[in-house]
Homo-oligomer: A and B are copies of this chain.
Amino acid sequence: MSFDTSSLFRSGLPPAEQPWAPAPRFSFVGGNNDADNVPFGGLAEAAVSVLRREGTSLATYNLGGGPQGYDPLREFICHKLGARAHMACDPGQVLVTSGSLQALDLVNGVFLEPGDTVIVEQATYGGMLSRLARLGVEVLGAELDEHGIRTDALAEQLTALAAAGKRPKYIYTIPTVQNPTGTVMPLERRRELLELARAHKALIFEDDCYADLLWSGERPPTIRSLDGDGGHVVYCGSFSKSIAPALRVGYIVADWPVLARMLALKTDAGSGALEQMVLAEYAASHFDSHVDQLRTVLRAKCDAMTAAVTDSFGNAATFVAPQGGIFLWLAFPDGVDTGALAGPAAAEGIEFNPGAGWSADPAWGRNRLRLCFGAPSPDTIREGVAALAGVFAREAGLGVGR
């Protein structure tokens, strides 16, 4: 009989992962992207040229450089943020991470301990919420409207917290192409948010992972850029949405006193160097044209998705049309429990993200859900949304639209 290792497990482990199953026919979950627009030819060319020029440096951890990442990639990130997001930064302020998830872990690792309080957007990235839950942190939701965080409500919230003797460790925001709502915070709101952070001596954690996928192509200045040398904003980004999610390359932009603490927690001997090298080599000459093309494709998918939802759900589902990205956030009438509908949908080969997992207050998110349109084709979107509407009609008595 085999040894039962579980007697040696530490206490408080999360539940075991279930065996993996392939994605169903209609998969509207996960930040996957359009397969036809992965620039694999350009990445291959980049691999050949960068390996020919610098391949021997792979013999040394961190390519013989520092632990903040491959220099030309950090230079490209600074160039890109300057040109596209009005943010001046220098490579010394950039830490390359193994995807933006490691960025979240490093920020959380530096600032959070059990019992702390953080403010997140009322609807926000589920992977952040699950991290915060594991860390034993109190999570408060900031009210959103079609322009992101309602700064008037946040001001009241911060004042009430201060009166209760609580100071949030950070305010986590995805201001540009918010996940899951697809909204963009206007410049004035960004300034107000920064003023609130200053007044309450709070940190802003600005997650800009989806910002390059803004339909208009005109990114507002990052909140960090508005702060000058104020030190109130830690910023993160990623190439997962703009190039390819299976490449695990993200980054943090922060000041040295914060980076120095993160580096002490980043005990991985560096993030994957080949991905950094290939990405930097490719992006230096192709990033802008690639993202322009990708945005066009994704916008067409978004249009297909919003049209399909209107066609199939009619008035039963409401949404604000996304200003970019790969997600649509739907609200259903009170009483609809999207979590309870996930099982019946899965039985028909349809996956979506129930809103509770994407909401600071799961009860508030109960009648909401997230649909990702980056990977499926417009035809699959139409067919899958119609099938989903059928499930909702049958299981929740929702009237199906035109």
Contact with B along A36-68 (1 / 0, CB 8 A): 111011011001100110011111111111111
Please name all residues of chain B whose beta carbon is closer than 8 Å to the beta carbon of A226 when the two chains form the complex: none
Cβ A269 vs Cβ B38 within 8 A: no
Please name all residues of chain B whose beta carbon is closer than 8 Å to the beta carbon of A6 when the two chains form the complex: 257
Please tell me if A347 contacts chain B, counting CB pairs below 8 Å: no
Cβ A111 vs Cβ B275 within 8 A: no
Please name all residues of chain B whose beta carbon is closer than 8 Å to the beta carbon of A59 when the two chains form the complex: 32-35, 37-38, 244-246, 374-375
Among residues 72 to 125 in chain A, which have CB atoms less than 8 Å away from a CB atom of chain B? 98-99, 101-102, 105, 109-113, 116
Cβ B98 vs Cβ A264 within 8 A: no
Assembly CA distance A116 to B11 (angstroms) = 11
Cβ A16 vs Cβ B246 within 8 A: no
Cβ B274 vs Cβ A58 within 8 A: no
Please tell me if A267 contacts chain B, counting CB pairs below 8 Å: yes
Most buried by B among A63, A131, A272: A272
How many residues of chain A are within 8 Å of chain B by beta carbon?
A: 103
Assembly CA distance A12 to B36 (angstroms) = 47
Please name all residues of chain B whose beta carbon is closer than 8 Å to the beta carbon of A246 when the two chains form the complex: 57-63, 270, 272-274
Binds B, one of A138-146, A183-191, A212-220, A228-236: A228-236
Kindly identify which residue among B55, B65, B244 contacts A58, using a CB–CB cutoff of 8 Å: B244
Cβ B230 vs Cβ A16 within 8 A: no
Please tell me if A127 contacts chain B, counting CB pairs below 8 Å: yes
Please tell me if A263 contacts chain B, counting CB pairs below 8 Å: yes
Cβ A247 vs Cβ B273 within 8 A: yes
Please name all residues of chain B whose beta carbon is closer than 8 Å to the beta carbon of A56 when the two chains form the complex: 35-36, 38, 40
Among residues of B, the one whose C-beta sits closest to the C-beta of A53 is: B40
Please name all residues of chain B whose beta carbon is closer than 8 Å to the beta carbon of A38 when the two chains form the complex: 55-56, 58-59
Please tell me if A173 contacts chain B, counting CB pairs below 8 Å: no
Please tell me if A10 contacts chain B, counting CB pairs below 8 Å: yes
Most buried by B among A14, A34, A269: A269
Among residues 1 to 41 in chain A, which have CB atoms less than 8 Å away from a CB atom of chain B? 2-20, 22-23, 30-38, 40-41
Q: How far is the CB of A376 from chain B (nearest CB, A)?
A: 11
Cβ A2 vs Cβ B229 within 8 A: yes
Cβ A13 vs Cβ B58 within 8 A: no
Please tell me if A301 contacts chain B, counting CB pairs below 8 Å: no
Please tell me if A394 contacts chain B, counting CB pairs below 8 Å: no
Please tell me if A201 contacts chain B, counting CB pairs below 8 Å: yes
Cβ A5 vs Cβ B51 within 8 A: no
Assembly CA distance A54 to B127 (angstroms) = 28
Cβ B2 vs Cβ A231 within 8 A: yes
Give the 6 A-B residue pairs with the shortest CB-CB distance, closest first.
A40-B55, A20-B66, A246-B273, A17-B263, A16-B260, A47-B47
21 residue pairs of the A-B complex, CB under 8 angstroms, read A2-B229, A3-B198, A4-B231, A8-B170, A9-B111, A10-B113, A20-B68, A23-B64, A35-B60, A38-B58, A40-B56, A43-B274, A44-B51, A58-B246, A61-B245, A98-B271, A127-B267, A131-B267, A246-B274, A248-B273, A272-B272
Binding site for B on A (CB under 8 A): 2-20, 22-23, 30-38, 40-41, 43-44, 47-48, 51-52, 55-68, 98-99, 101-102, 105, 109-113, 116, 127, 130-131, 169-170, 198, 201, 203, 229-232, 244-249, 255-261, 263-265, 267-275, 278, 374-375
